[in-house]
């Protein structure tokens, strides 16, 4: 993980948030290449889950919402983490994490039971000190909207994008008149005041989610649940994750979130262990029903075929963007030896690599090579918008090393044969570090097949 954090900073993927002021815990800033990687991941998700289907409707809801949304959703009353203090240092920890680290099975444990076990077993803080009482810690960030700072002006930074879809369910019905089943899709920021942000971008206080709320007839929820289980795996394949590193974990009934009747966590083999990457939940009619009751707006659906009116049930695949970035980076990180020298490279899928092709002149002080390389660069830029880099920094060996480190799958070098002989150029493959001599048309064809 240390190597990956260092590479991410050195090469302009991810920096500590507010770094020049000493940072702000649980926040990270994406640089030019990290942003490109993130955008490619989000576009891949949007393509699979929205553009390639006929049953999805996109939404981009406001992050700030009426406080009643969060009362109806159950978050105001129940979105807490179990908190415990080190009595000497006053440092705060997640009680469930400390118990897990102490080898205790915490399945279905209440706050009170955690407190009892910590005391009985004498579980200590990581500094070796005694722990205080386990209590609830509110995870939503609270703010006030407008000039007044009273109960009525309270709002929250959303802890999930999902509610932005439930509150727009009726708008979507009225605008598009979809038949069941249909889904709503959203990509956006979510915020949680995590007690212990940790493991780089794995657990942060500000992150992005890619969520679908898929509305179904309650009789057929299992079919859609299975469909989205497969779609989540297909998406993981799209972004190049190693299938054997993903594990479907059925959540025990006593550990389900308040809205869920069934949940599968997709766990991934991260460097710090097997941890949750994504979730898939059967949210029943919990949310639409709660919002119907609380807002007084009828959120039922009339099925023209069966002439039945009912509140649809909901299947929710929920995917974290930042966890995808971390999984992809840790899976892609590779070391080998090329020409007797140690090499670090990111084996990123060509579908999401921030730079798809880097174009270089063999020598940067030969105008005819630079001019030709610029011409090749312009042609490729039109074919693969936003994914081509012109690189004439340092010698060719250093350029390859740098491109390997940022995961560029292809490097093209324009040399004297290109301009003086046959217009062909070298295409170098990142993973094998081997080269072919090809025309630009052949290169475009072969790269198009890979993305």
Shortest Cβ distance from residue 53 to ligand GAP (Å)?
Answer: 20
Nearer to ligand GAP, 131 or 326 (CB): 326
Shortest Cβ distance from residue 263 to ligand GAP (Å)?
Answer: 8
The verdict on 115 binding ligand GAP (CB under 6 A) reads no
DSSP states along 89-157: T--EEEHHHHHHHTT---TT--HHHHHHHHHHHT---TTS--B---EEEE-SPEEE-SS--SGGGEEEB
Number of residues that bind ligand GAP (CB under 6 A): 19
Shortest Cβ distance from residue 312 to ligand GAP (Å)?
Answer: 17
Shortest Cβ distance from residue 7 to ligand GAP (Å)?
Answer: 20
The stretch among 144-152, 174-182, 199-207, 229-237 that binds ligand GAP (CB under 6 A) is: 199-207
> Contacting ligand GAP (CB under 6 A), which of 155, 204, 290, 349?
204
The span from the CA of 229 to the CA of 317, in Å, is: 8
The phi and psi torsions of 86 (rounded to 5 degrees) equal -75, 120
Close Cβ partners of 201 (under 8 Å, ≥ 6 residues apart):
14, 28, 207, 322, 323, 325, 326
> Contacting ligand GAP (CB under 6 A), which of 199, 267, 276, 405?
276
Nearer to ligand GAP, 162 or 315 (CB): 162
Assess contact for 275 and 327: CB atoms under 8 A. Answer: no
User: For residues 208-267, which are near ligand GAP according to CB under 6 A?
Assistant: 209, 211
Shortest Cβ distance from residue 118 to ligand GAP (Å)?
Answer: 23
The verdict on 360 binding ligand GAP (CB under 6 A) reads no
User: For residues 140-179, which are near ligand GAP according to CB under 6 A?
Assistant: 160, 162
The span from the CA of 313 to the CA of 256, in Å, is: 17
Nearer to ligand GAP, 237 or 417 (CB): 237
The verdict on 139 binding ligand GAP (CB under 6 A) reads no
* β-bridge mates for residue 131, sequence order: 86
The span from the CA of 128 to the CA of 124, in Å, is: 5
Beta strand 410-414 with 357-361 is parallel
The verdict on 207 binding ligand GAP (CB under 6 A) reads yes
The verdict on 199 binding ligand GAP (CB under 6 A) reads no
The verdict on 192 binding ligand GAP (CB under 6 A) reads yes
The verdict on 284 binding ligand GAP (CB under 6 A) reads no
The verdict on 194 binding ligand GAP (CB under 6 A) reads yes
The phi and psi torsions of 57 (rounded to 5 degrees) equal -125, 125
Nearer to ligand GAP, 115 or 322 (CB): 322
Shortest Cβ distance from residue 323 to ligand GAP (Å)?
Answer: 4
Nearer to ligand GAP, 115 or 194 (CB): 194
Please choose, from the candidates 278, 282, 352, the residue with its C-alpha nearest in 3D space to the C-alpha of residue 314.
282
Burial 382-399 (b: 16+ CB within 10 A, else e): eebeebbbbbbeeebeeb
The stretch among 103-111, 143-151, 200-208, 241-249 that binds ligand GAP (CB under 6 A) is: 200-208
Assess contact for 264 and 229: CB atoms under 8 A. Answer: yes
Nearer to ligand GAP, 74 or 132 (CB): 74
- The residue with its CB nearest to ligand GAP is 320
Phi-psi region at 107: left, alpha or beta (left = phi > 0; alpha = psi -120 to 50): beta
Q: DSSP assignment, residue 441?
A: H
Please choose, from the candidates 251, 255, 326, 206, the residue with its C-alpha nearest in 3D space to the C-alpha of residue 96.
255
Chain residues in the site for ligand GAP (CB under 6 A): 160, 162, 192, 194, 203-204, 207, 209, 211, 276-279, 316, 318-320, 322-323
């Amino acid at each position: 993980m240390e190597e990956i954090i260092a590479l991410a900073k050195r090469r302009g993927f991810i920096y500590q948030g507010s770094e020049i002021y000493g940072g702000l815990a649980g926040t990270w800033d994406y640089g030019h290449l990290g942003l490109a990687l993130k955008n490619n991941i989000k576009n891949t998700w949007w393509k699979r889950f929205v553009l390639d289907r006929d049953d999805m409707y996109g939404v981009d809801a406001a992050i700030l919402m009426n406080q009643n949304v969060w009362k109806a959703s159950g978050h105001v009353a129940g979105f807490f983490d179990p908190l415990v203090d080190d009595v000497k240092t006053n440092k705060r920890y997640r009680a469930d994490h400390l118990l897990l680290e102490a080898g205790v099975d915490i399945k279905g444990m209440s706050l009170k039971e955690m407190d009892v076990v910590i005391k009985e077993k004498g579980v200590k803080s990581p500094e070796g000190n005694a722990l205080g009482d386990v209590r609830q810690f509110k995870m939503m960030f609270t703010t006030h909207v407008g000039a007044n700072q009273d109960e009525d002006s309270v709002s929250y930074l959303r802890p999930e994008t999902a509610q932005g879809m439930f509150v727009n369910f009726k708008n979507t019905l009225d605008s598009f008149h979809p038949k069941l089943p249909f889904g709503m899709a959203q990509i956006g920021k979510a915020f949680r005041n995590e007690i212990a942000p940790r493991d780089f971008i794995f657990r942060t206080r500000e992150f992005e989610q890619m969520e679908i709320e898929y509305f179904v007839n309650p009789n057929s929820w299992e079919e859609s649940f299975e469909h989205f289980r497969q779609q989540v795996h297909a998406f993981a394949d799209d972004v190049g994750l190693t299938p054997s590193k993903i594990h479907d974990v059925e959540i025990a009934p006593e550990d389900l979130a308040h809205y869920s009747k069934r949940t599968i966590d997709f766990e991934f083999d991260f460097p710090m262990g097997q941890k949750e990457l994504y979730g898939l939940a059967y949210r029943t009619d919990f949310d639409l029903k709660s919002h119907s009751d609380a807002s007084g707006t009828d959120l039922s659906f009339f099925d023209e075929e069966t002439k039945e009116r009912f509140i649809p049930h909901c299947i929710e695949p929920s995917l974290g963007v930042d966890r995808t970035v971390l999984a992809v980076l840790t899976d892609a990180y590779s070391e080998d030896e090329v020409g007797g020298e140690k090499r670090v490279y990111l084996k990123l899928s060509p579908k999401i690599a921030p730079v798809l092709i880097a174009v270089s002149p063999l020598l940067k002080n030969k105008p005819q090579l630079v001019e030709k390389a610029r011409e090749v660069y312009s042609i490729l830029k039109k074919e693969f918008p936003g994914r081509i880099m012109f690189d004439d920094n340092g010698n060719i060996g250093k350029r390859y090393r740098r491109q390997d480190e940022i995961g560029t799958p292809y490097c093209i070098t324009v040399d004297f044969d290109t301009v003086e002989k046959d217009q062909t150029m070298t295409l170098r493959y990142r993973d094998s570090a081997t080269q072919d001599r090809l025309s630009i048309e052949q290169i475009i064809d072969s790269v198009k097949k890979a993305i």
